[in-house]
Amino acid sequence: MAGRQAAVALLRRGLGSLAEQAGPQRKVAILGAAGGIGQPLGLLMKLNPLVSHLALYDIVGTPGVAADISHVNTRAHVSGYAGEEQLGEALKGADVIIIPAGVPRKPGMTRDDLFNINAGIVKALATAIAKYAPHALVNVISNPVNSTVPIAAEVFKKAGTYDPKRLFGVTTLDVIRARTFYASKKNLPVKDVDVPVVGGHAGITILPLFSQATPQVPITQEEIEYLTKRTQDGGTEVVQAKAGKGSATLSMAYAGAHFADACLKGLNGVENVVECSYVESTVTDLPFFSSKVHIGKNGVEKIYDLGPLSDYEQQGLKDLHVELAKSIVKGQTFVHDNP
Ligand SMILES: NC(=O)C1=CN([C@@H]2O[C@H](COP(=O)(O)OP(=O)(O)OC[C@H]3O[C@@H](n4cnc5c(N)ncnc54)[C@H](O)[C@@H]3O)[C@@H](O)[C@H]2O)C=CC1
Ligand SMILES: O=C([O-])CC(=O)C(=O)O
């Protein structure tokens, strides 16, 4: 009897791992893979059964990170690429490219203060993507996201490869924070909670819509204002706590892995994959805006309207307009001025 049970368990395990490996071949490339976000993100993507090849690229340090992660006994084959001359190889054939390359904030800085360094990094990486992997879904994490996504778009336009359905700014961390803070404030099981976050990814451009949070529970205006501010300042909260040693890396790796998983599921034809993301959009009069997006086989399949907003949220939407518009133009201008 015990032998029979063991045989059944073995068979189940075998079938389970077969099912796990049965998805299509999917290559994911991480650019900035040796960094604070890149390393845990690489590990989380190695744990994702949808990934068959994980390419880890950075200017330095990737051979060690790749060797380390490659020992984990999961599906993905891991390869490391270091230095610009290996970037093309890292990108070739990639289905999803995640970009956490660039410098993080120190206390007292805004995300926009990172523009001078990170704009050039994202521009260079986007140029290589246009050349080596023009059909990949691109997930931009590097700050300031409000500008780096328009930068990537302009680079792709110039290269003649731009497909707005395939370019995403990763704002998932804002959603994760809003869910965590809402669940904690209202004593709800966090796994049951959702909060859409729209706009952009910096300060007041981050607009959580607690009027659309689920589950709906009685909440005071004071609580809404507290939760909104805490979500908007979530990044700064971590920057200050790390006291000069960078910004969110672990929660960002989780958020980035969650969003990349959604992209892989969409590509694989899973239905109803919906995430908030900063994309080219006509939901407002701003050319880029984050809202709920349906991700499918071609990337963005549908961008959802904002839905009914409270007076407070409508005011927030008005307030973010100038800053987000400026950040978008700043990114676009950078590419035009630096051909
Ligand atoms: N979208 C979001 O919600 C969030 C965005 N971020 C942003 O992510 C970026 C990375 O943050 P961390 O990982 O903490 O920084 P980090 O400094 O620890 O790592 C950045 C990595 O990028 C690499 N890098 C620099 N230039 C590169 C290039 N040209 N090509 C490839 N790699 C290059 C560096 O060698 C380094 O390994 C920052 O800009 C940060 O502001 C951080 C948290 C949340
Ligand atoms: O705050 C930062 O600089 C990093 C970031 O974008 C976040 O944690 O949301």
**pLDDT tens digits, residue range 278-298?**
999 999 999 999 999 999 999
User: Nearest residue CA, atom 19 of ligand 1?
Assistant: 35
Of 239, 254, 278, the residue with max ligand 2 atoms within 8 A of its CB, to mutate for a pocket test, comes to 239
Q: Pairing state of beta strands 27-31 and 96-99?
A: parallel
Query: Smallest Cα–Cα separation from 232: which of 313, 142, 338, 333?
Result: 313
- CATH 3.40.50.720-classified regions of the chain: 24-170
The backbone torsions φ and ψ at residue 192, rounded to the nearest 5 degrees and listed phi first, read -90, 0
Helix intervals (H) in 218-271: 221-232, 234-242, 250-267
Tell me the C-alpha distance between 54 and 173, whole Å: 22
User: Nearest residue CA, atom 2 of ligand 2?
Assistant: 235
Identify the residue whose tokens are 């992997």: 133
Burial of 213 (0-12, 13-18, 19+ CB in 10 A): buried
CB distance 252 to ligand 1 below 6 Å = yes
> What pTM was estimated for this model as a whole?
0.95
Check whether domain 24-170 has CATH 3.40.1030.10, yes or no: no
Determine if the peptide bond prior to 218 is cis (ω within 30°): no
Tell me the C-alpha distance between 65 and 335, whole Å: 32
- Residue 273 is predicted with a pLDDT of 98
Q: Which two tokens stand for residue 104?
A: 């993080």
CB distance 102 to ligand 1 below 6 Å = yes
**Longest Cα separation, the chain:** 75
User: Nearest residue CA, atom 5 of ligand 2?
Assistant: 235
- Residue 195 is predicted with a pLDDT of 98
Q: Hey, what CATH topology would domain 172-327 get? A: L-2-Hydroxyisocaproate Dehydrogenase; Chain A, domain 2 (3.90.110)
**Which candidate in 71, 77, 135, 201 is catalytic?**
201
Residue 149 alpha carbon to ligand 1 centre in Å:
15
- Residue 5 is predicted with a pLDDT of 55
CB distance 88 to ligand 1 below 6 Å = no
Tell me the C-alpha distance between 9 and 3, whole Å: 10
- Residue 207 is predicted with a pLDDT of 98
Tell me the C-alpha distance between 99 and 96, whole Å: 10
Residue 300 alpha carbon to ligand 2 centre in Å:
24
- Residue 21 is predicted with a pLDDT of 53
CB distance 200 to ligand 1 below 6 Å = no
Tell me the C-alpha distance between 109 and 100, whole Å: 18
The residue ranges of the chain whose pLDDT is under 70 are 1-22
- Residue 1 is predicted with a pLDDT of 42
Tell me the C-alpha distance between 325 and 310, whole Å: 22
ipTM exceeding cut-off 0.95 for this assembly: yes
Helix (H, G, I), strand (E, B) or coil at 12: helix
- Residue 14 is predicted with a pLDDT of 46
User: Nearest residue CA, atom 6 of ligand 2?
Assistant: 235
Tell me the C-alpha distance between 139 and 310, whole Å: 30
- CATH 3.90.110.10-classified regions of the chain: 172-327
- The count of residues in the chain is 339
201 as an active site residue: the answer is: yes
